[in-house]
Amino acid sequence: MTVVAIVLFVLAAVVVGTTVAATSGILKRNTIAGIRIPALLSSDEAWEKGHQAALLPITIGGVIAVVGGIVLLVHPAGVVVVLIATIILFVALLSWGVLQATRTGLAIARRSLDE
DSSP for 27-47? S-S-SSSS---HHHHT-HHHH
Q: Which tens digits make up the pLDDT trace of 28-85?
A: 999 899 999 999 999 999 999 999 999 999 999 999 999 999 998 888 777 888 889 9
pLDDT category, 112, cuts 50, 70, 90? confident
pLDDT at 115: 72
pLDDT category, 98, cuts 50, 70, 90? very high
57 CB-near residues (< 8 Å, 6+ apart): 93, 94, 96, 97, 100
Single-letter residue type at 79: V
Write the burial class of residue 78 (CB in 10 Å: 0-12 exposed, 13-18 middle, 19+ buried).
exposed
CA distance 58 to 36: 15
